[in-house]
A and B are shown apart, each in its own frame.
Chain A
């Protein structure tokens, strides 16, 4: 049979339900939202607040410590965290728009996909950015730790490295291996977190392309 011939019966079948009272609905309004956008927003808020706290702590260390190496170390991390305060705030603003109920299904899907892709991209960038920063600092500042000033010891560092090729090769190998492991782990983890869901959303979007 055709869909139109069964329209009334199907509509009745779909409408089968047990009525909820005003009080039932009032109780539902007290519960926590479980949608992906809400979970993502809560996670973004947590990361945003953490970024603010750590920026303040790192800035405090950088300003008040007498040790020049620690000043640079915490100063750089404060700047990195500060950049993420703005990126996370931007993502929170974009995610909040999804709760306003003003978008049609297609626009809502486009926005949700773009938010998740942006989040994945930034999380990956953050992870990969921390790697050379941490390595460089542990190497450079670690070496300089025993020197009175950083600048005066830079030449000594280069000379020292040139005279120890094995150390350089070992360090480069360690860094390379760590970078590969972190790269694939970050890719795998972000795919595990969002991959299937993102595929579902993309599949819905592909259906909405103009015929």
Chain B
């Protein structure tokens, strides 16, 4: 039997990673809750094999992304990604002019494929191309090529979302 007392505080400390993955990969709160539960369970099952050769956060990202990308979604729960009411909102007291652009970029990221979302998420979390490559299973050069293409696509898409807002 694995030691819950070691795993739970560790997962709790890094639960931000799980929420990031759930926010990006799922559109509705119910789906996010389902995915959070699934990643937690998968991390718990895999925890016995965690050898601390890599950082816990890197290992957790790998488990979380593997789970999110291969998670079986029920079609009936799918909500269009453009629906703004399903995106988690930042609570702000004053109007921030940057917010519309952030929102447009956020929607553009939501339009990306599962793999590109994973790369962007790790990039936003300041992982270097080598680390991203290790988590995804491709070379750092390949990550760099993909990242350049994604940036161009995001700029274009976010501009369109911004104009439509």
Q: Does A105 contact B (CB under 8 A)?
A: yes
Q: Are A3 and B8 in contact (CB under 8 A)?
A: no
* Residue in A7, A17, A31, A105 whose Cβ sees the most chain B Cβ within 10 Å: A105
Give the residues in chain B near A100, CB-CB below 8 Å. Answer: 45-46, 49
Q: Which of B82-127 contact A (CB under 8 A)?
A: 88-90, 98-99, 101-102, 105-106, 109, 113-116, 118, 120-121, 123-125
CA distance A7 to B71 in the complex (A): 27
* Residue in A7, A29, A34, A108 whose Cβ sees the most chain B Cβ within 10 Å: A29
Choose from A13, A14, A19, A109 the contact partner of B69 (Cβ within 8 Å). A109
Residue ID in chain B nearest A99 by CB atoms: B45
CA distance A74 to B138 in the complex (A): 51
Give the residues in chain B near A21, CB-CB below 8 Å. Answer: 12
Q: Does B63 contact A (CB under 8 A)?
A: yes
Residue ID in chain B nearest A26 by CB atoms: B8
Residue ID in chain B nearest A107 by CB atoms: B137
Residue ID in chain B nearest A39 by CB atoms: B72
Q: Are A16 and B12 in contact (CB under 8 A)?
A: no
User: A163 to nearest B CB, angstroms?
Assistant: 57
Q: Are B138 and A13 in contact (CB under 8 A)?
A: no
Q: Are A34 and B105 in contact (CB under 8 A)?
A: no
CA distance A151 to B158 in the complex (A): 79
Choose from A19, A20, A101 the contact partner of B62 (Cβ within 8 Å). A101
Give the residues in chain A near B113, CB-CB below 8 Å. Answer: 203-204, 207
Choose from B19, B24, B102 the contact partner of A9 (Cβ within 8 Å). B102
Residue ID in chain A nearest B66 by CB atoms: A108
User: B22 to nearest A CB, angstroms?
Assistant: 8
User: B128 to nearest A CB, angstroms?
Assistant: 14
Q: Does A103 contact B (CB under 8 A)?
A: yes
Q: Which of A67-105 contact B (CB under 8 A)?
A: 98-105
Choose from A6, A22, A34 the contact partner of B34 (Cβ within 8 Å). A34
Residue ID in chain B nearest A197 by CB atoms: B72
Give the residues in chain A near B4, CB-CB below 8 Å. Answer: 26, 29
Q: Given contacts A1-B105, A99-B46, A105-B135, are A204 and B115 in contact (CB under 8 A)? A: yes
CA distance A39 to B41 in the complex (A): 13
CA distance A84 to B18 in the complex (A): 39
Q: Are B42 and A105 in contact (CB under 8 A)?
A: no
User: B95 to nearest A CB, angstroms?
Assistant: 14
CA distance A14 to B106 in the complex (A): 9
Q: Which of B25-59 contact A (CB under 8 A)?
A: 34, 36-38, 40-47, 49-50, 59
Mask: chain A, 185-211; 1 = CB below 8 Å from B; 0 = not? 000000000000100010110011011
Q: Are A14 and B20 in contact (CB under 8 A)?
A: yes
User: B62 to nearest A CB, angstroms?
Assistant: 6
Q: Are A10 and B106 in contact (CB under 8 A)?
A: yes
Question: With A15-B20, A35-B71, A101-B66 given, can you name 13 additional A-B contacts, CB distance below 8 Å?
Answer: A3-B105, A7-B124, A9-B98, A13-B88, A16-B89, A34-B38, A34-B72, A100-B45, A101-B49, A101-B63, A102-B49, A103-B137, A197-B72
- A-B complex: 5 closest residue pairs judged by Cβ atoms: A101-B46, A106-B137, A104-B137, A17-B19, A16-B88
